[in-house]
Structure 1
Amino acid sequence: MKILTWTNIRLVLMIALVIFLYSFASFRNEHRKIKKTEVIFVGENKLFLKAETVNKLLIEKNRDLKTLNKVDLDLNKLEKSVNQQDMIQKADVFVSVDGVLKAVVQQKTPIGRVFDETGSFYIDSEGNSMPLSENYTARVPLISGEINVVKKEKLSEVLRTIDRDEFLKKNIIGVQVLPNGSLMMANRNYDYRIDFGRTINIDRKFKNYKAFFQKAVLDSTLDKYRVINLKFTKQVVCIK
Structure 2
Amino acid sequence: MKRINWNNIRLVVILLAVVFLYSFSGNRNETRWLEKSEVSFVQPENFITLDEVNKLLIQNYDTVTDIRKDKLDLNKLEKSLDQNPMIEKAEVYTTVDGKLKAIIRQKTPVARVYKGAKSYYIDTEGGEMPLSSSYTARVPLVTGALDSVEPSRLQQVLLYLYKNDFLKKNIIGIQVTPNGNLKMLSRNYDYVIEFGKPVSVERKFKNYMAFLQDAVKSKAIEEYKTINLKFTQQVVCTKK
Distance 1:228 1:5, change over 3 A: farther
Query: Residues of 1 paired with 2:148 and 2:5: CA distance?
Result: 81
Aligned residues: 238
Partner of 1:203: 202
In structure 2, the partner of 1:34 is 34
**Distance in 2 between the 1:119 and 1:204 partners?**
32
Q: CA deviation at 1:141?
A: 0.8
Q: Scaled by the length of structure 2, what TM-score is found? A: 0.88
Maintained 8 Å contact 1:126/1:153: no
1:142 lines up with 2:138 in the alignment: no
Q: Which sits farther off after the overlay, 157-166 or 94-103?
A: 157-166
Corresponding residue of 2:112: 113
Q: Tell me, in whole angstroms, the C-alpha distance in 2 between the residues paired with 1:134 and 1:65.
A: 25
8 Å CA contact 1:115–1:121 kept in 2: the answer is: yes
C-alpha distance 127-10 of structure 1, shift in aligned 2 (>3 A): same
TM-score normalized by the length of structure 1 = 0.88
Task: Output the CA distance in 1 between the equivalents of 2:156 and 2:119.
Answer: 20
> CA separation in 2, counterparts of 1:164 and 1:120?
23
User: Which one is further off, 193-202 or 214-223?
Assistant: 193-202
1:192–1:25 distance in 2 versus 1, CA, 3 Å:
same
Report if aligned partners of 1:33, 1:68 keep a CA contact under 8 Å in 2.
yes
Structure 2 residues not aligned, in runs of 5+: none
Q: Distance in 1 between matches of 2:22 and 2:77?
A: 27
- What is the CA distance between 1:13 and its match in structure 2? 4.8
The corresponding residue for 2:214 is 215
For residues 93 and 199 of structure 2, the distance between their equivalents in structure 1, rounded to whole angstroms, comes to 43
More off after superposition, 162-171 vs 33-42: 162-171
Q: In the aligned structure 2, how far is the partner of 1:28 from the partner of 1:53?
A: 31
Look up the equivalent residue of 2:235 and give its one-letter code: V
Q: Secondary structure at the match of 1:121?
A: strand
Q: Give deviations 1:153-185, integer Å, cap 9, x for gaps.
A: 332232122122222122101011122322111
CA pair 6-212 structure 1, distance change in 2 beyond 3 A: farther
Structure 2 vs 1, CA of residues 5 and 203 (structure 1 numbering), >3 Å: closer, same or farther?
Answer: farther
SS at match of 2:93: strand
Query: Aligned AA for 2:211?
Result: F
| Residue matched to 1:237 | 236
- Segments of structure 1 that go 5 or more residues without pairing to the other structure are none
The alpha carbon displacement at 1:11 in A equals 5.7
2:25 alignment partner in structure 1: 25
Q: 1:2-41: CA deviations, max 9, x gaps?
A: 9x96666566555544533442332122112110112111
